[in-house]
Amino acid sequence: MAPAWGRYVAGVVTVLAARGRPPVGLEAVLASGVPVGSGLSSSAALEVAIALALAEVAAWSLPPVELARACQEAEHVATGVPCGIMDQLTALLGRAGRALLVDCRDLAVEPVPLPETLVALAVHSGLPRTLAGSAYADRRAECRDIARRLGLRSLRDATFDQVAGFPGPATW
């Protein structure tokens, strides 16, 4: 059986081919120090790394936001999970010393300087995390349904007054 990460690679190859990437192969070695399932967007980082390598070897390119969309689609293909695009955008556009302000509606990305005195620490709990098999897709569907019921394009457009006291899914 192929390693689970092989699905992500296959997804990227498939999605980039559909976007016009010439069928040029490459030999590559995949190595990472990120613990599998640690919740550090490792699948998005893998997708972006594979996409950039495949684009480079084929002398082909996509604008960064379109490449992020392709990598997001590759994750959908690989896992069946309707993930968002934040992780792929961050893997492509993140820079040292900057946070990214990402608007997922229009995909505007703004680097925001971080204070030099700020220290970020990532700690691996030892508990695996994955979107596949989680309630992530259910939460997205519930948010879309609530927005629809409120007559809104997206739940992000709701005011506090609109959602205050709104019954949760358990009462629907």
Catalytic amino acids?
87
Looking at the DSSP bridge assignments, the partners of residue 112 are 99
- Angle (CA) 156-96-107 rounded to 5° is 30
Counted residue by residue, the chain has a size of 172
3-state secondary structure of 89: helix
Q: Confirm if 11 and 75 have CB atoms less than 8 A apart.
A: yes
What's the token pair of residue 12?
């990227």
Sequential DSSP letters for 142-162: HHHHHHHHHT-SSGGG--HHH
DSSP E strand stretches across 9-72: none
The CB density around residue 171, as the number of other CB atoms within 10 Å, is 6
Nearest to 137 by CA among 88, 89, 83: 83
